[in-house]
């Protein structure tokens, strides 16, 4: 069954909008774990717009030995202010997985994957450093991406399919081509020995079609839609609903 990793960034966004410690990021992660998720995901950014370094440390403690901890981030972003850099956070927390994402301050959210022909050589030593700290390394990639063989050559363990375009096509009622592109990319990655994760704008509406149409997805990371749905149905029941969908898929 495809594993569900719950991204708790949105809890931090709401907390930061008011200050203080409510809603509590750790409490939200605890609730998701109790409901049965397989992992917790965070994406700390240098501008501290949501998850902060202290959140990463706290979440590493409560996930250890219980579920996988996945830290997303741009490996090329330098330390800035309270942000110590991705490698330093990995060194301090030793997550099971690190997902490398080519994002910047100007992006509202992650909206494209790596160009491995351009970035592969620079990623290679960073991947080696992360793996030396015990992390499985996944690269955020567009469906239809070329040069997937570079991901395997530079030491990545998995790719994460950027599913934003699929979600948009699904909402418009014409997801066939986008889903086929995801399936083809996953198949090519798996043929190279890479595992396949997926994430971005997946929801209860489009997840079943995705996992039924894309074979062998190891993990989906879901945050924005999950917490939006949880406003109406509660966090525990929402996580359970996602798990039922993945079991059916």
pLDDT (tens, 9 = 90+) of the chain, 249 residues, equals: 999 999 999 999 999 999 999 999 999 999 999 999 999 999 999 999 999 999 999 999 999 999 999 999 999 999 999 999 999 999 999 999 999 999 866 555 666 789 999 999 999 999 999 999 999 999 999 999 999 999 999 999 999 999 999 999 999 999 999 999 999 999 999 999 999 999 999 999 999 999 999 999 999 999 999 999 999 999 999 999 999 999 999
At 111 the pLDDT is: 64
At 132 the pLDDT is: 97
Q: In the annotation, is 224 catalytic?
A: no
Q: In the annotation, is 72 catalytic?
A: yes
Phi-psi region at 234: left, alpha or beta (left = phi > 0; alpha = psi -120 to 50)? left
- Strands (E) across the chain are located at 3-7, 39-42, 68-73, 97-100, 136-142, 158-162, 195-199, 219-222
State how far the Cα of 249 lies from the Cα of 132, in Å rounded to an integer: 34
At 103 the pLDDT is: 82
Q: Which residues are CB-neighbours of 20 under 8 A, at least 6 positions away?
A: none
At 110 the pLDDT is: 63
Catalytic-role residue among 43, 50, 219, 229 = 43
Is beta strand 39-42 parallel, antiparallel or unpaired with respect to 195-199?
unpaired
Q: What is the residue extent of each domain of the chain? A: 3-248
Catalytic-role residue among 160, 200, 219, 229 = 200
Q: In the annotation, is 205 catalytic?
A: no
pTM above 0.85, yes or no: yes
Is beta strand 136-142 parallel, antiparallel or unpaired with respect to 97-100?
parallel
At 112 the pLDDT is: 79
**DSSP state string for 12-26:** HHHHHHH-TT-S-HH
At 168 the pLDDT is: 97
- CATH architecture under which domain 3-248 falls: Alpha-Beta Barrel (3.20)
Catalytic-role residue among 22, 50, 68, 72 = 72
């Amino acid at each position: 069954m495809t594993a569900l990793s719950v991204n708790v960034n949105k809890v931090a966004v709401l907390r930061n909008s008011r200050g203080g410690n409510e809603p509590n990021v750790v409490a939200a992660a605890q609730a998701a774990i109790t409901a049965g998720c397989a992992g917790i995901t965070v994406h700390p950014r240098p501008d501290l717009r949501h998850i902060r370094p202290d959140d990463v440390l706290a979440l590493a403690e409560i996930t250890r030995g219980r579920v996988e901890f996945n830290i997303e981030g741009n490996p090329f972003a330098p330390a800035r202010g309270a942000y110590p850099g991705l490698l330093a956070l990995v060194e301090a927390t030793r997550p099971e997985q690190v997902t490398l994402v080519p994002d910047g301050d100007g992006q509202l959210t992650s909206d494209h994957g790596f160009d491995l022909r351009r970035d592969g050589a620079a990623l290679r030593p960073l991947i080696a450093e992360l793996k030396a700290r015990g992390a499985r390394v996944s690269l955020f990639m567009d469906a239809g991406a070329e040069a997937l063989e570079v991901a395997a050559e530079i030491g990545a363990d998995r790719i994460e399919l950027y599913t934003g375009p699929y979600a948009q096509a699904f909402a418009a009622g014409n997801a066939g081509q986008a889903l086929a592109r995801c399936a083809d990319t996953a198949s090519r990655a798996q043929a190279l020995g890479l595992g396949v994760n997926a994430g971005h704008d997946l929801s209860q509406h489009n997840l079943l079609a995705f996992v039924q149409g894309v074979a062998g997805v190891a993990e989906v990371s879901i945050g924005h839609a999950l917490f939006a749905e949880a406003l109406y149905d509660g966090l525990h029941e929402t996580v359970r609903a996602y798990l039922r969908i993945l079991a059916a898929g």
